[in-house]
């Protein structure tokens, strides 16, 4: 009986995958911006969001493992997004897909170039 209990515990400790609508929102947000490597002061920080992909060949399809993204360990919802100093250009409008991340608690977009946002 204790062996069975240990097996169940090991399965329950796995972090759930991110939600499909949240990974889609993140990719749409990324695609709405310009990532300008040539204007980066520190080239080693570029890109963070550029590596995000839903295709396994290009990286993990689980947005919880994407660079700059943190998810809740129990629900798999995106709770933190840190894209600070990532040479991002553009604007964030009121209809941005970023606002579909309803469980987001921490957002760091510092030291980028957002126009009229």
- The model's pLDDT over 35-82, given as tens digits with 9 standing for 90+, comes to 876 666 665 655 667 778 777 555 568 999 999 999 999 999 999 999
The secondary structure of the chain as a DSSP string is: -HHHHHHHHHHHTSPPPPPHHHHHHHHHHHHTSEE-GGG-SSGGG--SGGG--SSGGGS-S-GGGSTTEEE-TTT--EEEEE-TTS-EEE---TT-GGGG-TT--EEE-TTSEES--
Q: Residue 58 falls within a domain, yes or no?
A: yes
- The model's pLDDT over 80-111, given as tens digits with 9 standing for 90+, comes to 999 988 888 899 999 999 999 999 999 999 98
Given strand 113-114, what is the order of strands in its sheet? 34-35, 88-90, 113-114
Q: Residue 56 falls within a domain, yes or no?
A: yes
Q: Residue 1 falls within a domain, yes or no?
A: no
Task: Quote the pLDDT of residue 20.
Answer: 93
- When comparing pLDDT for 10 and 57, which is higher? 57
User: pLDDT at residue 5 above 60?
Assistant: no
Q: Residue 91 falls within a domain, yes or no?
A: yes
Task: Quote the pLDDT of residue 104.
Answer: 98
Q: Residue 4 falls within a domain, yes or no?
A: no
**79/72 Cα distance (integer angstroms):** 6
- When comparing pLDDT for 58 and 26, which is higher? 26
Domain that holds residue 97: 16-114
Q: Residue 8 falls within a domain, yes or no?
A: no
Q: Residue 6 falls within a domain, yes or no?
A: no
**What's the total number of domains in the chain?**
1
Task: Quote the pLDDT of residue 78.
Answer: 98
Task: Quote the pLDDT of residue 94.
Answer: 93
Task: Quote the pLDDT of residue 88.
Answer: 87
User: pLDDT at residue 2 above 70?
Assistant: no
Q: Residue 79 falls within a domain, yes or no?
A: yes
**88/82 Cα distance (integer angstroms):** 12
């Amino acid at each position: 009986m204790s062996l069975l209990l240990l097996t169940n515990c090991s399965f329950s400790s796995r972090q759930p995958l991110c939600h499909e609508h949240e990974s889609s929102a993140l990719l749409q947000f990324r695609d709405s911006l310009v990532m300008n490597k040539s204007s980066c002061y520190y080239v080693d920080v570029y890109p963070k969001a550029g590596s995000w992909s839903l295709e396994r060949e290009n990286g993990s399809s689980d947005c919880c493992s994407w660079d700059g993204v943190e998810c809740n360990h129990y629900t798999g919802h995106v709770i933190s997004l840190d894209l600070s100093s990532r040479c991002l250009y553009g604007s964030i409008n009121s209809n941005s897909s970023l606002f579909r991340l309803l469980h987001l608690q921490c957002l760091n977009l510092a030291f980028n170039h957002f126009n009229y946002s």
